[in-house]
Structure 1
């Protein structure tokens, strides 16, 4: 997909409804009508027809096109699918859920042949997937054997089901809001190419699951329209492994080809020998490449030489990642200690550090003991420092009108405003100081609002966009005060 004309940042490129939506593989037990999480519910309710888990008799997804339709209910009832799982075995129930979305795709064959053909024209990478036993056998055991063996839906073929599994793996979008995590497949959005620095962002409305794709930055005529199939806040090694394992291709984009990841050093380690150089992959397009210190000519001083194998880098990063995962996600002190502990091992922009800083940027000011007006001046300054640090990286790897930037800008305005208020009350600021500092706050809020107001109102980001606009209105009172000074 390429731009027919110049496209301005923020312009809608695609807005479309899904062909099919439903539970993600490996997700929680959900209502198959509205997708509400049911694992934590004390009262269990089953569909009166097919016996599959639902939230209630009044589920809003009953008989809805993107919920639990009458034909699906009839199919699941006739094949006695409910007899193959019980609430006593949650893991077995999850496995049965793997077949719901493939079944919904297969049902299109008789109910909507045009949509079914659109689906079947998508890439499945069957030949590649057949040579990956973990992928092919998993689909055989959890989907093909369920639909053909357990449910006896023999009007479909094994090849057909495998193809649909591949189409979903390659082309589906993860969608949903407010704890509803599902996947959807769309008629044209799948045509966008991958890039590890995407020029679009997307969201869904959480009601009809309408997908909206917008330009994050200006896109020139004839330029590819891209999105990222991998998590942008990951290093090259992890992103390329994910793309190969899950999307079945190797990425050779500008970011992946550059050892420094466009100067962000998101994968870099600090050199243990010279203490000033960065340890980077010698060939980032080769996952088995050695890593070496880049400090060869720095003001007449060079590293005595440091090289480490790719295997050793993986082991080190895996160990540090596991340690990070054991930290309570709301424990600010432990997260700060983690950053301090590895300050001489990981580059400050390393993706693990970025993840920690992203959490801290949202925890300071939000949790008990650290509410925004309870923070000390030092803690407020720390929140400002963290927000600005991660913004510098976002500006490179996820530039433009993106949710990450919008949320971080919104988080940044609060400590700036609280510090400004405190210093104003202490009489430390001149009128010009106040105006300058207030301009910075207003700039953060305007940019945050402009980005986040594009998000669905029911989403957390959409609510922040509304809050940013309200904060801008409140700042007018400040401007009146300044005018009287």
Structure 2
């Protein structure tokens, strides 16, 4: 207990040097002991939705090293559009540079280090090496930066925490001090990094890994009371998503809000080395959203099958209507099959009519329309299509409304996804008004008659949709380019 309190006291001092806006921090937050999480950030006053709690500059930034994502310059993170081999560093360290002189100058010191280690294949792109840049860059931290870095929580994947990129170099260091530093850095980075979506050229988004020392101290819940975003200068910020009372702990989500419980908890186990047991995880229905449900195995029943014990990966499941049992293995097989066919479908070009057919005649043979994979399919369509016909635009409108209702049920407040969908819904509504009055009025009248709750009032108020989107997405690097033109 004394050791934990000493760590908290040291972190409090470090925060003063690292937080981007000290006055905002002192006005809203305090690092305290947390029984469940060791330490956490707590509100020092009552806070309203969308209030800034604090901002945080990254301690380290680096490429993701994910072969399924665009390759970027290791310094400025601009996307490399052409033949990547033409952008390999001339110093033969094996990294990718955009060609900008400033980037080359900034890269020089780490290039010299990598040359000393002698890369195995300097003329080939190595995703492993790109991913390792965050760990390698930790060697260049100054004393103050290293102090807070060393105080961060470290979860070692294995007892030795083997360095995964040592075979990329012929002369990888073997002295105990450097090896220990790299292992510690790897353990800290595995636990504390954020995946940052960054709009590099005004249109396409790329992913970057960021180590934010203060944001990393905010603990996780699957229905959080705060959101985090990143601006175009990579400054991270924490905003209240719901009303937060004085002395209440502040939480963000480390996973996707619309994933089902099994998906979220497995992601957390792999990426952060812990299993969440928050109230949402404990509730098989997830606030009545039923994101994890499969269809009843009894063909004559329209019930939903959910795990009996939501946080037990080996739990059997049961139908909520006929109470027919479903063995754990069968339940997981159906979820895995649904995930696979959804991934295969949404990762290729498709039309909205093809999506309708896929959901109705393939996916919904296995799972109900509430399931996360149906929701993910709709979300992919929202991102892909603007719609040219009345029918297509109306369908995207319905998808936006469906997911905004789920967000409302999950009680995640003014989250980033709500802002994105609110803006999308507003834009679609304006396009629908361009169609002949007979078509739009029918749709609009039906929508207005359904105003029976707060979420209905919100969905039916175009001005409120736009206002909400602008507030949530203000200064976010990935905000829609046209949001402030409307």
CA contact (8 A) 2:397 2:429 kept: yes
- Matched ranges for 1:212-251 at <5 A: 212-251=237-276
The aligned residue for residue 15 of structure 2 is none
The aligned residue for residue 392 of structure 1 is 405
CA contact (8 A) 1:22 1:182 kept: yes
Q: 1:329 to 1:451 in 2, by over 3 A?
A: farther
Is 2:377 aligned against 1:356? yes
The aligned residue for residue 338 of structure 1 is 358
- Matched ranges for 1:362-401 at <5 A: 362-364=383-385, 366=386, 370-371=387-388, 375-376=389-390, 378-397=391-410, 399-401=412-414
String of CA shifts for 1:305-334, please: whole Å, max 9, x gaps: 411122222211222222122222443222
Unaligned runs of 5+ in 1: 296-302, 471-485
Is 2:6 aligned against 1:6? no
The aligned residue for residue 202 of structure 1 is 228
1:21 Cα deviation from its structure 2 partner? 0.9
CA contact (8 A) 2:173 2:179 kept: no
1:281 Cα deviation from its structure 2 partner? 0.5
CA distance in 1, matches of 2:84, 2:63: 21
SS in 2 for 1:53: coil
1:292 Cα deviation from its structure 2 partner? 0.4
Larger Rg computed on CA atoms: 1
Q: 1:454 to 1:10 in 2, by over 3 A?
A: farther
CA contact (8 A) 2:220 2:251 kept: yes
Q: 1:59 to 1:237 in 2, by over 3 A?
A: farther
CA distance in 1, matches of 2:232, 2:463: 30
CA distance in 1, matches of 2:105, 2:297: 62
Is 2:213 aligned against 1:187? yes
1:145 Cα deviation from its structure 2 partner? 5.2
1:140 Cα deviation from its structure 2 partner? 2.3
- Which residue, 171, 189, 211 being the options, matches 1:150? 171
| More moved, 383-392 vs 187-196 | 383-392
SS in 2 for 1:54: coil
Is 2:130 aligned against 1:97? yes
CA contact (8 A) 1:19 1:115 kept: yes
The aligned residue for residue 445 of structure 1 is 466
Q: 1:329 to 1:448 in 2, by over 3 A?
A: farther
The aligned residue for residue 479 of structure 1 is none
Q: 1:158 to 1:144 in 2, by over 3 A?
A: farther
CA distance in 1, matches of 2:263, 2:105: 41
1:252 Cα deviation from its structure 2 partner? 0.8
Is 2:295 aligned against 1:270? yes
Unaligned runs of 5+ in 2: 1-40, 200-204, 452-458
1:433 Cα deviation from its structure 2 partner? 11
CA contact (8 A) 1:30 1:53 kept: no
1:275 Cα deviation from its structure 2 partner? 2.1
1:76 Cα deviation from its structure 2 partner? 2.1
- Matched ranges for 1:158-177 at <5 A: 158-177=179-198
Q: CA RMSD in A?
A: 3.0
CA contact (8 A) 2:425 2:465 kept: yes
CA contact (8 A) 2:44 2:247 kept: yes
CA contact (8 A) 2:94 2:123 kept: no
CA contact (8 A) 1:450 1:465 kept: no
CA contact (8 A) 2:317 2:328 kept: yes
| More moved, 225-234 vs 437-446 | 437-446
CA contact (8 A) 2:225 2:242 kept: yes
- Which residue, 326, 332, 340 being the options, matches 2:344? 326
Q: 1:386 to 1:39 in 2, by over 3 A?
A: closer
The aligned residue for residue 32 of structure 1 is 74
1:60 Cα deviation from its structure 2 partner? 4.2
1:351 Cα deviation from its structure 2 partner? 0.5
The aligned residue for residue 113 of structure 2 is 75
String of CA shifts for 1:262-308, please: whole Å, max 9, x gaps: 1111111222325232111000111100010112xxxxxxx1x4111
CA contact (8 A) 2:294 2:304 kept: yes
1:254 Cα deviation from its structure 2 partner? 0.7
